Amino acid sequence: MADIIQIVVLGLALGGVYALMGSGLSLVFGVMRIVNLAHPSLIMGGAYVAYWGFRLYGVDPLIALPVAAIILAATGVLLYKLIFEREAKSAKYSEMTVLLTFAIAMIVEGGLATAFTNTQRVTSPGYATDAFFIGSVFIPKGQLYAGMVSLALIAALALFLKYSRFGYAIRATTQNREAAELMGVNVNMVGLVSFAIGIGLAGAAGALVSFVFSFFPSKHWEWVAVLMSLVVLGGMGSILGTVVAAYVLSVLAAFVGYFFGATWSVLTFYLALFVVLLVRPQGLFGEKPEMA
Amino acid sequence: MSNIGETSDILAQRKTYNAGLSQVSDKSRATWFPLLLLALLTALPALQLVGNYNYLIHLVLYTLCYVVMASGWNILGGYAGYISLGHNVFFAVGGYFAGMVFARLGISTIIIAPIAGLVAAALGYLIGLITLRVRGPSFIISSLALVMIFRIAFENWHFVGGAAGVSLQANDMDVQWAKLPYYYAFLAMAAFALWASYRIRHSKFGLGLRAISKDEVKAESAGIDTRFYKVLACAISAFFVGMAGAVWGEYLTYIRPNIFLVILISVNMVLMCILGGKGTVAGPALGAVLIVAFNEFFVATLGASAVNIMATGVIMAVALMFFPNGIIGTLAKHRKLPRILNWD
Amino acid sequence: KIGASLPLTGAFSIAGTKHQQGYELCVDLINEGGGIMGEQVDLIVSDNRSDPATAINQYERFINVDGVDAVFGTFSSRLSFPVANILARNGYVHPVPAGGALRIYTQGHQNLFYFQPNAAEYIGVSLTGMIADLIDEGSRPQTAAVVAADDFFANAVEAGFLGTEVIDPADGSVVEDMAPGYLAEAGIEVVYSEKWPEEGFNDWLNLANSIKRSEADLIIALTASAEEAVQLTRALQTVRAEPMMVYYSQGTQAEFYEGTGDASESILMHTSWHPSAPYNGELNGEPFSNQDFVDAFSEAYGAEPDEDSAIPFAVCQGIEQAIRGAGTTDNAAMGEWLYARTADEPVRTILGRFSWDSRGLPIDKPFLIAQWNGGELQFVYPTDEFPEVSELSHPKDGF
Amino acid sequence: MLEVKNMSKRFGGIRAVDDCSFTVRKGEITALIGPNGAGKTTAFNCISRTMAPTSGEVWLDGERIDGLRPHQITRRGLSRTFQISRNLADMTVLENVICQSRTEGWRDMFRPALSEAEIAKAMGILDFLGITRIAQEDGSNLSYGQKKLMDLAALLMSDPKIILLDEPAGGVNPTLLEEIVGHIRELNAKGLTVLIVEHNMELIMRLSDRVVVMAQGTVIAEGTPEEVRADPAVLDAYLGGVLEAEE
Amino acid sequence: MSELLEVKDIVAGYGDGPAILNGASLTVQPGKVHCIIGPNGAGKSTLLKAICGMLPVRSGNVRFKGESLAGLRPDQILQKGICFVPQERALFPKMTVRENLRMGGFSLKDQSDLERRVDEIEEQFPILKERRDQHAGTMSGGQQQTLAMARTMILRPDIVMLDEPSLGLAPKIVQQVFDIMKVMADTGITILIVEQNALLGLRNADWGLVLDLGRSLFEGPANDVLEDDRIQELYLGGKKVA
Ligand SMILES: Nc1ncnc2c1ncn2[C@@H]1O[C@H](COP(=O)(O)OP(=O)(O)OP(=O)(O)O)[C@@H](O)[C@H]1O
Ligand SMILES: Nc1ncnc2c1ncn2[C@@H]1O[C@H](COP(=O)(O)OP(=O)(O)OP(=O)(O)O)[C@@H](O)[C@H]1O
Ligand SMILES: [Mg+2]
Ligand SMILES: [Mg+2]
């Protein structure tokens, strides 16, 4: 029994981190229809901000988090202005963005590697390698804190989207850009702000990741497929779905790893994706595509 | 208040107005160009008689390999609009099938290639039945997941060497000529792929695929068996990619999961098609030439480093932003496409 | 002109970058000393992104476009394996800095020279030897947990420990049967074994927890990537595993210590090189000791060297001596010269003396075992090689 | 010829089509009218199988077709247009139209699509509808009315036995509409069966042989145009006394 | 007669394609209902899009209350008081009916005022009240049109431009729509519609405009347009019904 609890705890702990990593991706897709393959590489950027804060000034990554978020959000603004503002008008928009963000991922990776070398990094605040023990069950502190911070951020985001006037504008733009424009929404601004928020979340996730995983510039490829699976599984653009998928799958993967071996735990994410797509093509929380 | 003239007048005016707006399509194309290209490429290895052009041959061969794969990809990704980041699964299946036959039975992969292609096509058919039920980003991501699944499967399949892979016997020809069998195999496959690509694009099947890429509900109600069309397109495109994989394995003398199942390969296929012009015949070929050339250029000038990755990213971004329909597509749209590149 | 393709980016970038430093330092020193036979050496390094196909392509380029006179090998079994075929076909001497898996050497190539002590499959003997020699009967580990990345190199090491057959999947033939395995020979029972995939594995805590719960006295973790070693260590620390002894196949780098800190205490790893090993090599026809290398490296890069720079340095020494010895850059002659080395007339490098058997594996060279103690990587075994041996600290006092 | 039996379609709590039955007789023009949201489009969708009905049967020429896939239904000679026209971007209008022509078997699939015969046939239809000039235009760059016309053209390309038109007159210029009406009549005279949804009462009255009136998912009246127009239930639910004003 | 909106000789087209409008002109007087008719593809929708800022005007000018609208974004033009319902209706398919109505008043800052206006509209259109929690995308064509129309009224703009408001509506509703339009006009909202149901449109309008070949062919009181024989033949289906 303790084993089972332990596995669930570990799954949940990892799930919290994935949830934040995936939610920015989900937001950007939801609002902008951008499948942001560069998201993981931008998370990496956030992780480097936290790393240098820790290394040079001994700043705790949790404190560096807002800084990382702001720096990355600014990067988001820049990217949007340079690239996506023009693209928004293109008919080939959604497939173009897949490739453009792929290109951005390469640029970010190359940039980070040039600036910081390809050496692996990790920040080591005391809690990163500590745990609470409850009986024989332990809860890793690092992941626990990361999970709690990420849940708080996601909740704040959800409330913002649901109740603020700007949140309304974001949703309207998501559904019908032209109509939103006609209703007096400055759609360009909406795109800009939501993109900045999404990338800012990547920055925040980066700060958390910096003490949960070790990282180096090209590592983001390892995250892409997992994060994307979560987003698709949850239903493209549904942040709630992404969060749920992150938790459910992490726990599931922990079980698979425990019973069938670590090799197969990664497979859980992809197989689950296929099964879900077979039974429910729109994902767990996605809306049914409209017909006729 | 303005006034209007006679009814017939208006009707006549309307005709001229309409004529002014209507589009004329440029139908001229230069068939001689691809044929000339084929002839030149056939003759190319003769250079070996006057010096060491091994690397040039290697590069052309490498490009041809990608021409086959990108053209194959284009049938599903370009015509039917299902962007797959998972086509290297077929590359791997073709490579492993032919490679293992070669390793165990000693039959050259060049002979096995069409069969390997069929094996890949059969797999493509099955996979298509499952994944082609979803569209857009979901499809892209599920194809990505497919690569991961196959990779993990191959890495744990000990019969084919697991993660470490299998080393294949190199042929015992003189170094100078050793590449030629593969070179001609790829040249033949590339020519075949382009021809098939042309035929399909102009067939009813191709038209149906293009309809599917735009609006599946409409296509279905137009009497097109969309499910079958899609899956067949997937199988055909898997066939080409699988064939290329078969010969590629023997050429490298090594098969292992991370030679075939790396994201970069499928990304290359996608990129070549988009850069050259997705859904056109010449696009994938042109894209393959350009991407391989960029790559070589960077290796030659910047050496290989992080800067290289960054530069590749920049080139890619710029190309996408300024040639949204690919080079062929964008030029054609502005009616600036040179005739020699109009293979459609 | 000498070419080297290295994984400067991608999964092996850490080691790859250090290899580049090793090669470059050596070539610089050769050139300062007037070059080889009066000619300056031009080193071309290119990045293969840890990708085998790219590595092959780059050696093609070195040979056919750059027209290099010799090549240096690349890092790790994964890349060395495919590269071996093309270098063999073109008749180039293939000095391998890292690529210990037996299967590379049993393909029948006549141009391979491995510049580390022994094939990966045989590494385990050093650990069990150390346990037998240095630890009292009563405090020896009785049980072991063996975890490994599903990687060419790690699998090879694992095969030795667990005593599995090494098979060539091309024809299904047995390359070598490692049975019963070093652990079994040493009377250590394997209570837990697990593999994780080569790339993209994140679930370290779970793995660590399983290891902990197996209550094994000895943890053996095998990987080719220092990053994974760090991850696993941190996870073991988090779950408060309490083994008696921990052994890794990677982790001699400064980055390992940076990532793990105090948790690195008492962790053992095998190494081909150690800064305090009193090996006397040769460069430019003159003696060049290991200490000289450490000094030169620190001066050039402002950091202490580690194994990943020292091995390629030795590779470079080997090639330099081969060219000098053969009196030509004809690779066939160089190869013959290298094969002709014996224990008495070896290639002298900062890794010690090398001579090779017909497969290209060094004859009679044991691995060293090192241990992190107080943030310093100390050399602990074998004790009879040279005087500057540190005391083994045992048992490990938690993470 | 076409028979709908007890068909129902629910969306969550909404019963868009509720136990609806009617028949379309061979060679006739039948009109399906009803207030907005009566379920006419949904009924079309269920007949052509663009949507799966919740329950009920559909028979075409004595053959049950509600289990078939949409393309199979189309191949059995039943074609439909969409209320909000769907057209294929990045394909010329000509291709849009030819796309709808029949394909039989493997060999036909790989035959060149834009053959002389097909082009001639398609151009003939476009010409008739007065939209020849947009033949090479991109299918998505059309005005609303042009899209409707293109839809109609594509429909005719498949040589259907029965066509289902969802508001073909909406947004079409009256002058042109006259011509279209004439053509539908002509086709009908040649044996084409038509089921048409329309809100233009004047058109319905002139064109149809029989009228089926739907409201809230069920058929509330059925009969000749005159009968239906006189039916008080229809007046109340649908016409709202407008017709008198028209006269 | 003071002009509220004046469009003079504008040229406009899509992207870098040919010009669709070649010097179309139009004057709009306050408080009146204006109806534009013309054959399919004449550029009627294009004209409305150009006015509300969705298409760049290549030459000529658009003045609203004497002020040029050149270079303004759609949301800015909306702020000035011009509301547009395109032919495709521009609803938010995955928002509920009520949320759609609320979006109509997006530029209102006062939330309680907005709620009140939404309530008012719901009273006027019972069907919207009934379906308030249904997603707009799942409503029937006619219901959607009703919603789109109703939504513009929330802002109480100076001008409402409707592209084929009667499209797909049942006769009963069509009459309601035109009645609402009259009410709007009475309250001082100027209305500009494009109609293919030309007879009905013109009958309910004060002023008519014939647009063909990308320019304005005829402009005058709605009755004059209705009476003109040639217009009858060319655009109204020939038969004289009235
Ligand atoms: N996808 C859907 N999901 C939920 N409800 C739907 C969906 N499609 C239609 N409905 C509902 O079903 C009912 C019937 O709609 P339908 O479109 O069939 O009406 P219609 O008769 O075609 O009306 P109109 O004349 O206005 O086009 C409507 O109340 C509508 O809201
Ligand atoms: N998005 C577009 N891109 C390019 N051309 C377009 C686009 N939309 C319309 N057109 C062209 O502009 C011309 C005028 O279109 P417009 O929509 O203004 O016509 P309309 O008068 O509203 O016709 P209808 O009564 O059929 O709605 C048409 O010939 C059409 O081909
Ligand atoms: Mg309808
Ligand atoms: Mg229009």
Q: Is A10 a domain residue?
A: no
CA distance C353 to C117: 10
- Res B20: pLDDT: 66
Residue D144 Cβ inside 6 Å of ligand 2? The answer reads: yes
Are the beta carbons of A277 and B142 closer than 8 angstroms? yes
Nearest 10 degrees: CA dihedral of E68, E69, E72, E77?
A: 130
A292 Cα to chain D: minimum distance (Å) = 7
Are E234 and B10 in contact (CB < 8 Å)?
yes
Q: Residue A248: inside a domain, yes or no?
A: no
pLDDT for the residue B340? 72
- pLDDT, residue B113, reads 95
Q: Average pLDDT of E153-162? A: 88
| Contacting residues for C45 by C-beta, under 8 A, at least 6 apart | B303, C3, C4, C5, C6, C8, C20, C23, C24
pLDDT beyond 90 at C258 = no
Tell me phi and psi for residue C186, to 5 degrees.
-85, 5
Provide the residue type at E117 as one letter. R
Going by C-alpha positions, the residue among B61, B60, B82, B59 that lies closest to residue B237 is B82
* Ligand 1 pocket at CB < 6 A: D 11, 14, 16, 34, 36-42, 83; E 138-142, 168
Q: Are A206 and E141 in contact (CB under 8 A)?
A: no
Which tens digit of pLDDT belongs to each residue from C110-132? 899 999 988 888 899 899 999 99
β-partners of residue B326 are none
Q: What is the mean pLDDT of residues B152-156?
A: 89
* Structure confidence at residue C225 (pLDDT): 83
What's the confidence (pLDDT) of residue D246? 38
The residue that leads in pLDDT, C336 or C394, is C336
d(CA B276, CA B327): 5
Q: Residue A281: is its pLDDT beyond 60?
A: yes
> What per-residue confidence (pLDDT) applies to C110?
86
**Minimum Cα–Cα distance from D76: chain B residue:** B223
Average pLDDT over residues D168-194: 85
Secondary structure string (H, E, C) spanning chain A: CHHHHHHHHHHHHHHHHHHHHHHHHHHHHHHHCCCCCCHHHHHHHHHHHHHHHHHHHCCCHHHHHHHHHHHHHHHHHHHHHHHHHHHCCCCCHHHHHHHHHHHHHHHHHHHHHHHHCCCCECCCCHHHHCEEEECCEEEEHHHHHHHHHHHHHHHHHHHHHHHCHHHHHHHHHHHCHHHHHHCCCCHHHHHHHHHHHHHHHHHHHHHHHHHHCCECHHHHHHHHHHHHHHHHHHCCCCHHHHHHHHHHHHHHHHHHHHHHCHHHHHHHHHHHHHHHHHHCCCCCCCCCCCCC
Considering chain B, what is the average pLDDT of its residues? 87
Q: What is the pLDDT of residue B134?
A: 85
What is the rounded distance in angstroms from the CA atom of residue C190 to the CA atom of residue C175? 24
pLDDT band for B21, please (50, 70, 90 cuts).
Answer: low
Q: Give the other-Cβ count within 10 Å of B173's Cβ.
A: 12
Q: Which residue has the higher pLDDT, D172 or B115?
A: B115
Residues near A162 by beta carbon (within 8 Å), at least 6 away in sequence: none
Residue with more model confidence, B69 or E171: B69
pLDDT surpasses 80 at C199: no
In this structure, what token pair is assigned to residue C324?
């000098």
Are E218 and B2 in contact, with CB atoms under 8 Å apart? yes
Return the SS3 of E21: strand
Q: What percent of chain C has pLDDT over 70?
A: 99
Please state the rounded mean pLDDT for residues B129-154.
87
In this structure, what token pair is assigned to residue E112?
């309680």
In chain B, what residues touch C49 (CB-CB under 8 Å)? 264, 304
Q: Which of A122-126, B17-21, D38-42 has the lowest mean pLDDT?
A: B17-21
Please say if the pLDDT value at position B162 is more than 90.
Answer: no
Chain E environment of D84 (Cβ under 8 Å) = 88, 141
Burial B101-119 (b: 16+ CB within 10 A, else e): bbbeeeebbbebbbbbbbb
**Is the pLDDT assigned to residue A290 strictly greater than 50?**
no
CB contact under 8 A, A184 and E78: yes
Task: Check whether E198 has a pLDDT greater than 80.
Answer: yes
Structure tokens at B31: 């068939």
| pLDDT computed for residue A91 by the predictor | 64
Contact partners for chain A, using 3 or more CB pairs closer than 8 A, are: B, C, D, E
CA distance B12 to B4: 13
Maximum CA pair distance of chain B?
91
With bands split at pLDDT 50, 70 and 90, how would you rate the model's confidence at B156? confident
Mean pLDDT within B36-48 = 91
Lowest mean pLDDT among A80-94, C9-23, C305-319, E219-233: A80-94
Tokens found for residue B249: 């394995």
- In this predicted structure, what is the pLDDT of residue E241? 39
Structure tokens at C373: 């103690």
User: Amino acid letter at A63?
Assistant: I
| Residue D58: strand, helix, or coil | strand
In the predicted structure, residue B28 carries a pLDDT above the cut 70: no
- B161 backbone φψ class: left, alpha, beta (φ>0; ψ -120 to 50): left
- Alpha-helical (H) ranges within chain C are 13-32, 52-64, 77-89, 102-105, 124-134, 152-162, 182-185, 204-214, 226-238, 254-260, 290-301, 307-326, 331-339
Closest CA to C315 of C269, C286, C291, C283: C283
Pairing of strands D2-11, C376-381: unpaired
Q: Can you read off the two tokens belonging to residue B266?
A: 């499928």
Q: How confident is the model at residue D242 (pLDDT cuts 50, 70, 90)?
A: very low
Name D139's Cβ contacts closer than 8 Å, sequence gap at least 6: B214, D87, D88, D89, D90, D91, D92, D93, D95, D96, D150
Whether the per-residue pLDDT at E144 is higher than 50: the answer is yes
Q: By percentage, how much of chain A surpasses pLDDT 70?
A: 96
DSSP-based three-state secondary structure for D10: strand
Q: Is residue B24 over pLDDT 60? A: no
Residue D231 has pLDDT above 80, yes or no: yes
pLDDT tier for residue E240 given thresholds of 50, 70 and 90: very low
Angle between helices B109-131 and B136-155 (to 10 degrees): 130
State the pLDDT at residue B138: 82
The predicted structure's pLDDT at residue B2 = 46
Q: How many residues does chain B have?
A: 344
Domain assignment of residue A287, yes or no:
no
What pLDDT does residue E35 have? 93
Q: Of D85, D64, D84, D87, which Cα lies nearest the Cα of D76?
A: D64
3-class secondary-structure state, position B185: helix
Partnered with residue C94 across adjacent β-strands are: C112
H helix intervals, E62-213: 74-80, 97-104, 111-124, 126-130, 141-152, 171-186, 198-203
Residue E206, C-beta contacts closer than 8 angstroms, at least 6 positions apart? E32, E33, E34, E221, E222
Q: Above 80 in pLDDT, residue A225?
A: yes
Name residues whose C-beta falls within 8 Å of residue C333's C-beta, 6 or more positions apart in sequence.
C326, C327
Every domain of chain D and the residues it spans: 2-86+160-246
pLDDT above 70: residue D247: no
Higher pLDDT, C217 or D148: C217
CA angle D105, D109, D110 (to 5 degrees): 130
Q: Do E75 and A185 touch (CB under 8 A)?
A: yes
Q: Which residues of E touch A176 (CB under 8 A)?
A: 90-93
Identify the pLDDT of residue C74.
92
Distance from CA of E20 to the nearest CA of D (A): 11
Task: Please tell me which of the candidates A178, A183, A290 has its beta carbon nearest to residue E93.
Answer: A290
Ligand nearest to the CA of E41: 2
A280 belongs to a structural domain: no
Name every residue whose Cβ is closer than 8 Å to that of residue B39 and which is 6 or more positions away in sequence.
none
Place of tokens 């009228």: D211
Mean pLDDT of all residues in C67-83: 89
Residue B4 pLDDT: 54
Separation between Cα atoms, residue E90 and residue E68, nearest integer Å:
26
Number of domains, chain A: 1
Separation CA E97–CA B166 (nearest Å): 62
Helices (runs of H) and strands (runs of E) counted in chain D: 11, 10
* B22: three-class secondary structure by DSSP: coil
Global pTM? 0.89
Reported as type and span, the H/E element at residue E45 is helix E44-51
Q: Do D50 and A91 touch (CB under 8 A)?
A: no
**Are C148 and C158 a contacting pair, CB within 8 Å?**
yes
Range of the domain at A198: 17-216
CA–CA separation, C59 vs D91, rounded Å? Answer: 47
Q: ∠ CA(E11), CA(E13), CA(E15), 5° rounding?
A: 140
- Tell me the backbone φ, ψ of residue C282, rounded to 5 degrees: -145, 140
Mean pLDDT, chain C, rounded, equals 88
Strand partners, D60: D2, D63
Predicted pLDDT of residue E140: 75
Confidence of residue E106 (pLDDT cuts 50, 70, 90): confident
Instruction: Report the distance separating Cα E115 and Cα E131, nearest Å.
Output: 17
- Examine residue C180 and say whether the peptide bond preceding it is cis (omega within 30 degrees of 0): yes
Fold topology of D2-86+160-246 = Rossmann fold (3.40.50)
C-alpha E44 – ligand 4 centre gap (Å): 6
D111 vs chain B: nearest CA distance in angstroms?
5
pLDDT number for residue E238? 60
Q: Walk me through the domains of chain E, giving residue ranges and CATH numbers.
A: 1-81+157-242 (3.40.50.300), 89-156 (no CATH)
* Ligand nearest the Cα atom of residue E46: 2
Q: How many angstroms away from the CA of B161 is the closest CA of chain C?
A: 5
Q: Is B2 helix (H, G, I), strand (E, B) or coil?
A: coil
Predicted local confidence at residue D245, as pLDDT = 39
Mutate to test the interface with B, among C81, C112, C155, C225 (most CBs of B within 10 A): C81
**Is omega for the bond preceding D160 within 30 degrees of 0, making it cis?**
no
Segments in chain B forming alpha helices (H) = 7-21, 32-43, 54-74, 88-105, 109-131, 136-155, 180-202, 204-214, 216-221, 226-252, 257-260, 263-276, 282-302, 306-322, 326-333
Encode C155-209 in three state secondary structure: HHHHHHHHCCEEEECCCCEEEEECCCCHHHHCCCEEEEEEEECCCCCCCHHHHHH
A91 lies within 8 A of chain D by CB = yes
